[in-house]
A and B are shown apart, each in its own frame.
Chain A
Amino acid sequence: MLKKKRNLIALGTLLLLTVATLTAFWWLPVSPLEIDSTKRLNGPSAAHWFGTDHFGRDIFGQTVMAARVSLFVGLTVALIATVLGTVTGLIAGFYQKADFVIMRIIDGMLAFPSLLLALALVAALGGSVTNIIIALSFSYWPVMTRIVRSAVLQMKSAQFIEAAKTSGVSDPVILSRYILPNVLSPIIVQGTFIFAKAILAEAALSFLGVGVEPSTPTWGNMLQEAQMYITIAPWFSIFPGIAIMMTVLSLNMLGEGVREAFDPHAKEKIKKKKGLLKTPVSAR
């Protein structure tokens, strides 16, 4: 998978961003929290690469710092939604009786636009990082459930599952050792997409003013503050915007890369495109 340039670039961008934001306090030349009223809304310069905001704070520093919350929210939401969705999906796919109950709940949740659902939840719970994570996890796990369930349904009729049953293997073992490893690729792919979507959603919620407390620097909060100055200080909104775009793009590319690496059919399709392979040698 890492042989491909695209995947390498995507992974590199994400790693660089993570390391940069975690070690920001040691290496940032100007503290992003330092208010300097003499330098309000200055454009990009040697001292302030991305310019300054309406309090004279360094935007480069803020953008790097904000990645912390954004990546943390994204990763946590992706993990929670993936675990919840995988467990419910496995159960729904494997047990017909549970399937009906779980899927009706999921259908109900999916009928709600996920951002609206998150908006309502945050409005009820109050805006904080924890509440954002709860709200977003809650609105994304049904998608994961659906995907895992359909993968399990496909896998369930495979002969090796029947074979495991006839050799007396118990259901939990069948689920964890036989089904899960074979449905892992759509789970990982969907996980990275949820990661990306959660970052966007967090930014959107913060932008709408119902996200993380305004005092915490996040890309959404920065955009929200910047919108008033968009005509006089475009750099204030452009740089956090670019940061969001780069991160989400990298995640999506990575997800696509994982899909190709796991999915033999996707591999064939690529080769077919290049005219390299028609029928696999083994099929003849």
Chain B
Amino acid sequence: MPEPILEIRNLEMFFPVKGKVFQKEKDFVKAVNGVNLKVNKGETLGIVGESGCGKSTLARTLVGLLEPTAGDILFEGKSILGSGRKQMHQLRKDIQMVYQDPYTSLNPRMKAGEIIAAPLKAYRMTDNLERRVKELMDRVGLKAEDYAKFPHQFSGGQRQRIGIARALALNPKLIILDEPVSALDVSIQAQVINLLEDLQKELGLTYVFIAHDLSVIKHIADQVAVMYLGKIMEVSDSESFYQDARHPYTNALLSAIPFPDPEKEKKRRRLVLGGELPSPADPPSGCVFHTRCPLAQDRCKMEIPCLEPKDENTEHLVSCFYPIHHGTPVPSENN
């Protein structure tokens, strides 16, 4: 039985919206709205969703950049919320993050070596500092002479390697990867994904990999969760997820990705979603997806579905009243 290293329980993160002058009641953007997730040690959880679904906010609460409104986050069985400043400092050591944009996530006025050394200095692990930094640089595929270069002298892919080396510096157990390859070119993307996979194997790391792209997730994740308007729509092990996606939204996401194969692409039946993402400040009643769902019934507008198993696979959870059954043709809205 694999043991969970990270458990997210009923997590909520609401941001107040500035109300009108005479309006006492505040509105909230419910960026993360009751999320439950588990990540097993040494595995990768992929979190997928479109912009505005709350996946980045979720990532920020995990590394302690945001204090959640409600709920709990357990790391190795212990809550990491509400602990004092000193304790937080120690906990952060084990949970590190890699950011999306390799251009803005590195201090432009610091050298590559200093950037990677910063976490070590912050934890006063300054013995053999330069040797340790050079080891890290070697591990992520940077050259020793890159030590004294500034970020603008690197390409996007190399910058992302610096970001990864920085995240590795403190020997963390869990790394949150917030869209680490979406800003990179295809040929560089593959380099970084392979590097991340190698590092995971060598160091026994656990990843939470956030992406908007289900194809990248397919390559790296053991578990996949789909988010929509702050809620988890479907979560499952990767195999069952890609073979037997149950939620209509997941199916729409999957069929929205064009195959790089013109023959398969022509034969394919696609489910194109209509409409746009509703405002997270004023989410729809009932199931949040019902406004765009091609299968929505009256019940979906009234009741909120639970995230629960829909067949014998108890690890495959779906938040839908009318999940799609494998084999039944997907209704097409393709006009």
Contacts and interface: CB of A to CB of B under 8 A. Distances in A.
A163 B105 contact: yes
B80 to A, nearest CB: 13
A160 B169 CA distance: 16
Interface residues of B, number: 30
A175 B120 CA distance: 18
Interface stretch (B106-114, B189-197, B224-232, B238-246): B106-114
Is the interface on chain A under 10, 10 to 19, 20 to 34, or 35 or more residues? 10 to 19
B96 interface: yes
A13 B101 CA distance: 45
A178 B63 CA distance: 19
A158 interface: yes
Given A159-B101, A162-B99, A173-B122, A167 B107 contact: no
A3 interface: no
B97 interface: yes
Contact of B89 (A164, A168, A177, A182): A168
A163 B170 CA distance: 13
Interface string B24-67: 00000000000000000000000000000000000010011100
A167 B99 contact: no
Interface in B117-154: 118-119, 121-123
A177 B65 contact: no
Interface string A163-189: 111111110010001100110000000
Interface string A37-58: 0000000000000000000000
A162 B105 CA distance: 8
B93 interface: yes
A243 B108 CA distance: 40
A159 B170 CA distance: 19
A167 B96 contact: yes
Given A167-B119, A170-B122, A160 B105 contact: yes
Contacts of A169: 118-119, 121-122
A180 to B, nearest CB: 9
Contacts of B65: 162, 165-166
A131 B95 CA distance: 54
Contact of B97 (A158, A166, A170): A166
A252 to B, nearest CB: 26
Contact of A163 (B89, B93, B108, B163): B163
A183 to B, nearest CB: 10
Nearest to B163: A163
Contacts of B101: 159
B169 A167 contact: yes
A182 B108 CA distance: 8
Interface in B58-94: 60, 63-65, 89, 92-93
B105 A159 contact: yes
Interface in B163-191: 163, 166-167, 169-170
A166 B177 CA distance: 13
B313 interface: no
A9 B188 CA distance: 48
Contact of A164 (B64, B107, B109, B169): B107
B63 A160 contact: no
A158 B104 CA distance: 6
B97 A163 contact: yes
A167 B136 CA distance: 15
Nearest to B107: A160
Nearest to A169: B122
Contacts of B167: 167
A178 B115 CA distance: 10
20 contacts: A159-B101, A160-B107, A160-B108, A162-B60, A162-B105, A163-B97, A166-B63, A166-B64, A166-B65, A166-B97, A167-B122, A167-B167, A167-B169, A168-B92, A168-B119, A168-B122, A168-B170, A169-B122, A173-B122, A182-B109
Given A162-B97, A182-B108, 14 more contacts: A160-B106, A163-B105, A163-B166, A164-B107, A164-B118, A165-B65, A167-B92, A167-B96, A168-B92, A168-B123, A169-B119, A177-B110, A178-B110, A182-B107
Interface of B: 60, 63-65, 89, 92-93, 95-97, 99-101, 104-110, 118-119, 121-123, 163, 166-167, 169-170
